[in-house]
Amino acid sequence: MKRPVCVLWFAALSTCGAYDSEPPNVLLISIDPLRADRLGCYGYARETSPALDRFARERAVRFELAVAESSWTLPSHVSLLTGLHPLTHGVDQPDLAPGDEVEFLAETLRREGYYCFGLTDGGWLSDTWGFGRGFHSFATEDNTFSDCVQEATEYIGHREDKGPWFGFLHTYDVHCPYDPPEPWFSKFRSPESEAIEVGGLCGNPHFNGMELSPQQVAFLSDRYDGGVRWVDDALARLFAYLDATNAWEDTIVIVLSDHGEEFYDHGQIGHERTLYRESLHVPLLIAGPGLEPRIVETPVGLTDVVPTLVDWLDLEKHDRFDGRSLLDLLRGHAEYDPSVQRWSHLAWKSELLSRTSADEQVILDIGGGRLQRFDLKSDREEQRDLCASGDCQGLMERLEQELSERNRRGRSTYVIDKLRDE
């Protein structure tokens, strides 16, 4: 199966309400599937991310607890680019695509006068699932993330239209089969690791449930780390270009991931099957004009990105988003709020709902009726289920009531079957 590698979207901005001069450019980068705890700026010991670490240290606001709304690419990216939760947009199965009522960021920007350009190798992020909507040009091309960075810098530097631009880069270079080229392939190889053939396992329904030795898991994890460093080295070249062209002064740069990846943290390899921390805790780093580096501990989600950009660029605001603007948090005008809760949903290979706050994560197995509760202050790795030794019936009833309420408010008209006309 052809491995989708890169998505690159750009848009040029013509006018924007509150700006006396041209509004800032926007560069949005999604590294799929990058878990936050594999970056140095989130505490990882290996040198997987020197460029991102410097970005976080010198330029960016780093969100300590950014939570993905799902643990696989399709629903998570729909949420990222629409500001809608999966329980609202309803795209939680491979044969579903957003209905016309769902508005993607490119559609919003095109209506506001932006020029929208797309370059993608397909996969989940293709026009089949609506990601091409709103673009003036939506083409496909087979590239690595390093190639995408080169194309991005060439596009930015050689545009005839010198107005502001919006760009979205997405890469699967960290994704299974965890196969970066040398020297990255062997960069983090552990002496105790045991090689395993990975290529035929990606997409195999038995891959997630395979019985692997600790040495084999270490081999996969080491290759994953090599992929992270491969992408980070490409980001270093992109950041150097922004330095050389003084683009930081008028560019919003957002780096994130759509979900994480499991390496037997809870007995699984890959993603798509659980909602534990390793699948949901993603990096979120935002830099832009007027921002100072800081760490924000209030929980946030990917659905907050579009509302934040709408607010930042002073576009027309409305109440259709499930997410909220992070602009006050970015500018240091809002205090830490531990009461914020983030919801995540999975309905493809498992039917799960999770609620994450600064102190706690609760995971509800909707089909099986099982509830798990973890104290994130004392058990960040989520190894001690508090419901296993205590009564969680009252919590179960509250979650079911909240889920019922969310279902009443969402997904009534937003989902279409993409196979309907095929």
Residues with Cβ < 8 Å from 363, sequence gap 6 or more?
275, 276, 352, 353, 354, 371, 372, 373, 374
Structure tokens at 398: 């509250």
Q: Which two tokens stand for residue 355?
A: 């609620």
Higher pLDDT, 101 or 277: 277
Q: Enter the pTM of the model.
A: 0.91
Q: Which amino acid is at 371?
A: L
Sign of CA dihedral 150, 290, 321, 353: positive
Residue 57 resides in a domain: yes
Decide: residue 67, CB within 10 A, 0-12 exposed, 13-18 middle, 19+ buried: buried
Q: How many domains, in total, are found in the chain?
A: 1
Does residue 372 belong to any structural domain of this protein?
A: no
Q: Is the pLDDT of residue 421 over 50?
A: no
Q: What does the pLDDT read at residue 157? A: 84
Greatest mean pLDDT range, 2-6, 224-228, 355-359: 224-228
State in Å, rounded, how far the first CA of the chain is from the last one: 22
- Residue 70 domain-assigned? yes
86-126 pLDDT tens trace:
989 999 998 899 988 889 998 887 887 777 777 676 688 88
| Average pLDDT of span 268-296 | 95
In a domain, 169, yes or no: yes
Q: Please indicate, yes or no, if residue 400 is contained in any of the structural domains.
A: no
CA dist 295 and 281 (Å) reads 15
Tell me whether residue 398 is in a domain.
no
Residue 375 lies in a domain: no
Average the pLDDT over 240-260 and give the result.
96
Residue 17 predicted with pLDDT over 60? no
The 10s digit of each residue's pLDDT in 257-267 is: 999 999 999 98
Backbone conformation region of residue 158, classed left if phi is above 0, alpha if psi is from -120 to 50, else beta: alpha
- In a domain, residue 415? The reply is no
Q: What is the pLDDT of residue 3?
A: 40
Question: CA dist 312 to 171, 194, 255, 325, 336, Å?
Answer: 26, 49, 17, 8, 20
Question: Residue 11 is part of which domain span?
Answer: 6-342
Arithmetic mean of pLDDT, 317-346 = 91
Q: Provide the mean pLDDT of the chain.
A: 86
Instruction: Work out the percent of the chain whose per-residue pLDDT is above 70.
Output: 86
Q: Mind listing the pLDDT tens digit for each residue in 349-384?
A: 788 999 999 999 999 988 788 899 999 999 999 999
69 CB-near residues (< 8 Å, 6+ apart): 75, 76, 79, 85, 86, 301, 302, 303, 342, 343, 344, 345
Q: How confident is the model at residue 300 (pLDDT cuts 50, 70, 90)?
A: very high
Preceding omega of 33 cis (within 30 degrees of 0): yes
Asked whether residue 9 carries a pLDDT value surpassing 50, the answer given is no
Any idea which residue has 């001069």 for tokens?
A: 21
CATH of the domain at 188: 3.40.720.10
